[in-house]
Amino acid sequence: MTNRVNIQNIYLETPQVIKYKNILLIACASILPLYLSMFRYHLFGATIRIADFVCLFAIFFTLIFFPKYFLKFIQFKFLPMWFLLAYIIIQGIFLNNTAASIKEAIQLLWVCTYLGIASVYAQWDSRKFYKWTLIFLALSAGYTILYHLSIGHISRYKLASDGKYAFGLLSVLLLLKANNSNLKQDKLLLYLSLIPLLLSLERKGILGVFFIWFLLELIKIFKSKPTLKGIPIFLGGAFILFIPSLLNEFGLFIDKQIYNSYSLDETVALYTSNMHRESLLINSYQIIRDNLFFGVGADKIMEYMGQFYVHDNLRNGAHNFYVDTLVKYGVVGTSLLLCWPVLITFYHKVLHQLPTALIMFHIYCIFVITFMADGQAVLIVFLFSFLNPYLFADYD
């Protein structure tokens, strides 16, 4: 296996190399913010995203100027990616769903290639990568605000699609930066970012940011008063003891909800988001239960949802990354995907201590995608903090 440090230092730092690295660093830092933006256009039935072109630029010119960076993908921590890709293809062959599986595999490989390459540039200059990520997130969020203001929407930026997730990501990155800084301007920028976040009314982003803020304040309390550290241990132990009872109550709740779903008023559900999403989760549970180990295959969730609804507009995914993944890949595929971040975290923990900011960013990404529909941008959000662990190297 190739050593992680050697990949970073494999090219001499000549002025020309530094110039290329700077350009590609900025390009890589812009890609996630551009995926979470309204810079996307619908032409001939296809969605054209600026982020895809920038991603192609970054990967292509890295291959031209720094081809040895791609040795990163034969490192130990990338082995789970190859296993997952193989699983997706094999699942597609057995389920007679090869074309959709190949498309899913290419999407996963595309995302992981970008994140692997981005981590090289972030490791080279994490402070600059962090700065440009914030700049492009602010640009994406600013464009969303201006667009909605131009059509008379002061708040609730529903037309932004994935673009509305940029607000929470911008605020949480500024929060983690301000938490390790004594500069007033960092705190000022954080407070300013909360204004558009709250105006966006994007619940998962707002909850995620304030959840991380709460955890950071809790850590400060425990550090200042070590005698209180026994409290979370006690609460964790009590939770473990009550798990059997909680699972039993959860099972009874699900059975009741399944029964209630038979009398769903579809005319109301079409215009009531919470009712519709609850129904999708319940029906997803039934699909998972019937296809527990290997799932139904890529791009099949809407087809399987058709058995529960009359109206076509209600046949959507569960609007929950984890549930959608379970429906598609079953327990086996989902375990391969979720075990990968755990192994990466352990890998980096063994090599060197994980920064608190990085752990908090892991928690934010894990939390926020619980309420996000499956897709390429969401997959990047999920894997971004794990495959790019150098983002906070200079901020802890």
211 part of a folded domain? yes
Q: Tell me, what's the pLDDT at 77?
A: 82
Q: Tell me, what's the pLDDT at 198?
A: 93
Q: Tell me, what's the pLDDT at 289?
A: 87
pLDDT beyond 60 at 1: no
143 part of a folded domain? yes
- Long-range (24+ apart) CB contacts under 8 A made by 65-68 are 65/17, 65/20, 65/24, 66/11, 66/20, 66/21, 66/24, 66/120, 68/7, 68/10, 68/11
Mean pLDDT of 43-51: 78
Whole-number percent of the chain with pLDDT over 90: 43
Mean pLDDT of 339-351: 81
Backbone torsions φ then ψ of 172, nearest 5 degrees:
-70, -35
pLDDT beyond 70 at 199: yes
pLDDT beyond 60 at 2: no
- Who wins on pLDDT, 134 or 261? 134
Q: Tell me, what's the pLDDT at 4?
A: 45
Reported as a pLDDT band with limits 50, 70 and 90, residue 71 is: confident
pLDDT beyond 80 at 245: no
On whether the CB atoms of residues 167 and 197 are closer than 8 A, the answer is yes
CA 375/CA 312 separation, integer angstroms? 20
Cβ burial 98-124 (10 Å sphere, 16+ → b, else e):
eebbeebbeebbbbbbbbbbbbbbbbb
Q: Tell me, what's the pLDDT at 44?
A: 66
243 part of a folded domain? no
Mean pLDDT of 53-76: 92
325 part of a folded domain? no
Cβ burial 158-185 (10 Å sphere, 16+ → b, else e):
eebbbbbbbbbbbbbbbbbbbbeeeeee
128 part of a folded domain? yes
CA 249/CA 214 separation, integer angstroms? 28
Domain count for the chain? 1
pLDDT in tens, 148-166: 999 988 888 888 888 889 9
Reported as a pLDDT band with limits 50, 70 and 90, residue 229 is: low
Mean pLDDT of 202-219: 91
- Who wins on pLDDT, 280 or 5? 280
326 part of a folded domain? no
Reported as a pLDDT band with limits 50, 70 and 90, residue 262 is: low
Closest C-alpha to 207, from 360, 364, 323 = 364
- Copy the structure tokens of residue 198: 């709250």
CA 351/CA 343 separation, integer angstroms? 12
pLDDT beyond 60 at 396: no
pLDDT beyond 50 at 60: yes
Q: Tell me, what's the pLDDT at 33?
A: 94
41 part of a folded domain? yes
67 part of a folded domain? yes
Q: Tell me, what's the pLDDT at 56?
A: 95
Q: Tell me, what's the pLDDT at 260?
A: 65
- For residue 152, give its domain range: 4-224+352-387
Reported as a pLDDT band with limits 50, 70 and 90, residue 352 is: low
Angle among Cα 339, 354, 17 to the nearest 5 degrees reads 95
Reported as a pLDDT band with limits 50, 70 and 90, residue 252 is: confident
pLDDT in tens, 15-31: 999 999 999 999 999 99
pLDDT beyond 90 at 45: no
Chain centroid, CA 48 distance in Å: 21
Provide the strand spans (E) within the chain: 40-43, 46-49
Reported as a pLDDT band with limits 50, 70 and 90, residue 51 is: very high
pLDDT in tens, 293-305: 998 988 888 888 8
